[in-house]
Amino acid sequence: MIGIEVSDDAGREAMVMSVTRTEPQDRSPEHPAPEAFTLQEVLDAVVDPVRRSIVCQLSASTSAKSCGSFDLPVGRSTATHHFRILREAGLIRQYYVGTSRMNELRREEVEEAFPGLLDALVSAAARR
């Protein structure tokens, strides 16, 4: 708690104002544990061409990407929906850096659960 005391020039009537600071909450969304991944959810997530594009763009990237940096043929609200589907399927991890929501492919966890799936998906998409 922070206290601030204010008074007028004559020193009359002091007013005390208190401000309570709380620790910032973790704004990172929930992510499924690798043991909770199901093949059906992963395949359902990547059946959509926009979501496949997100996975391919993340696979080609050497670092995490902000939501606004993807080349997508949909609006912001629809893109948010697609990111949520991928996150809930366990394919991507999302976290904040300042006000930007960052995205990264959960390559190691997905590879452990479904060996070769991401590589097959990315190479099939590249052939189209």
Q: What angle do CA 115, 54, 93 make, to 5 degrees?
A: 65
Give me the pLDDT at residue 1, please: 45
H-helix or E-strand spanning residue 94: strand 92-97
* CA 105 – CA 90 distance, rounded (Å): 9
pLDDT band of residue 29 (cuts 50, 70, 90) is confident
Question: pTM for this structure?
Answer: 0.78
- Select from 79, 90, 2 the least CA-distant residue to 42: 90
Q: Are 26 and 33 in contact, with CB atoms under 8 Å apart?
A: no
Average pLDDT of 22-27?
Answer: 58
Higher pLDDT, 2 or 70: 70
What token pair was written down for 67? 């939501």
CATH number for 26-126: choose from 3.40.50.1820, 3.40.50.300, 1.10.10.10, 1.10.287.130: 1.10.10.10
Structure confidence by residue, pLDDT tens digits, 40-62: 999 999 999 999 999 999 999 99
